[in-house]
Amino acid sequence: MAALLNTKYGAYLYALAAGLILAWYRRDLTRDRRAWAALGIALAGFLPALGWNAAQGWVSWRWQAAHFARGAVGPSTLVGNAWHSLRYLTPPVILLAAPGVTRFRGPQRQLLLGPALALLVPVALSPANSPRNLVAGVALLLPLAGEAICRWWGAWRPVGVLAVALVAWAGLAGLGTAMATWREVRLPQSSAAAAIRAESAGWREARALPLEGSDYVFAIDYQIAAQLRNYTGRPVYTSWGQYQIWGIPDLCRSPGGGESTVDVVALSYVDPGAISARLTEAFRGVSGPAEFLLGGEKMIRIWRAEGCRIESERLVERLDIMELAGE
């Protein structure tokens, strides 16, 4: 548990699930010193993350809480999240897992169902709209669903035929997802395949982007900062949450101490008018956006700004994608 909590924030849901198990089934363990010793070992293993966050103003936890509460960029509704989850996990997987929710009688089943719900419900209700985080809970439902299908099969054989068909359909959708990240296919697939192809297309051509004449490069979209850094060989900064911990220099000052020149890069889905307006407020001189098409489909916009008129910290806040998306 300590290793999970140190590496992936979704593990907090595992901690919630483990707590439910202990509170519901094994309250007797609170009287066992070995249980408290095990908890102490887990907490000791968690101290590195605890100490680091304490030294950084609890930034990781604040970022995760804000992301969970505020959601992703763009509107998020319960129906929209459900549809996104269905397309992401694929209908056959959802149909296979659904009967598992009916298996709630008896402690052995509840030991799977309880954690499954603890892993599913918070993610499903969050406006963050991140269906990939539902996978862990769905996986726990599948054994329960298998038991349910086997019981129903004894009463009605077509259920077994349907189950075999769903397994085959899920396998085909998984194969289609894998193949679609390499080339276009007509097999059924997860909605993730198109997104993976779109996000990866064209980045090798970023080497030719005109980013050499500026002091700093700043990416509005946090997810492209690493791509630009990799293919241009230049440090790329962004305002997104934990990225700030890595250190954003004083964007208003050049390395030599004078006024700096900043290239601001964004993808096409961010309103260019909002970016231009904020840059005009913050800098004396702004040119662009210049538009470049990568891979024949990815539109990149670049602004060049100089003569900063506000403090660097305020500038980074003004260029936060969540702030821009709200306009």
Residue where a domain terminates, one of 120, 153, 186: 153
Q: How many helices (H) does the chain have, and how many strands (E)?
A: 14, 5
State whether 18 and 143 are in the same domain: yes
**pLDDT tens digit sequence for 208-259:** 888 888 899 999 888 888 888 888 888 888 887 655 656 788 888 888 778 8
For 212, the token pair is 């050499």
Structural tokens at position 93: 């997987």
How buried is residue 100: exposed, middle or buried, by Cβ count under 10 Å (0-12/13-18/19+)?
A: buried
Q: Is the dihedral of CA 234, 57, 266, 230 positive or negative?
A: positive
* Whether 142 and 209 share a structural domain: no
In angstroms, the CA 180 to CA 237 distance is 32
- Please state the rounded mean pLDDT for residues 118-129: 82
Establish if 94 belongs to a structural domain.
yes
Pick from 244, 223, 245, 239: nearest CA to 278: 239
Q: Average per-residue pLDDT in the chain?
A: 83
| Residue 277: pLDDT over 80 | yes
| Segment 58-117, tens digit of pLDDT | 877 777 777 677 665 556 677 888 888 888 888 999 988 988 888 888 888 888 888 888
**Percent of the chain topping pLDDT 70:** 93
34 and 144: one domain?
A: yes
Domain endpoint, select from 118, 136, 153 = 153
Domain assignment present for residue 13? The answer is yes
User: Cα-Cα-Cα-Cα dihedral of 191, 127, 79, 136, to 10°?
Assistant: 50
Q: Which two tokens stand for residue 115?
A: 């954690």
The 3-state DSSP class for residue 224 equals helix
Q: Report if residue 95 sits inside a domain.
A: yes
Cβ neighbours around 327 below 10 Å, total: 10
* Long-range Cβ contact pairs of 53-57 (< 8 A, separation 24 or more): 56/245
* Domain match, 12 and 140 both: yes
Q: Is residue 112 part of a domain?
A: yes
pLDDT at 246: 62
Domain that includes residue 103, residue range: 2-153
Between CA 195 and CA 55 the distance in angstroms is 36
Structure tokens at 198: 């779109």
The total number of structural domains in the chain stands at 2
Is 46 part of a structural domain of the chain? yes
CA pseudo-torsion sign 149, 150, 153, 159? positive
Please report the pLDDT score of residue 291 as a whole number. Answer: 92
Residues 6+ apart with CB under 8 A from 230: 203
CA distance 131 to 123: 8
Residue 247 token pair: 């250190």
pLDDT at 280: 92
* pLDDT at residue 41, rounded to an integer: 87
pLDDT at 303: 94
**115, amino acid identity:** P
> Token pair for residue 189?
């697939």
**Global confidence as pTM:** 0.62
113 and 27 co-located in one domain:
yes
Same domain, 11 and 145: yes
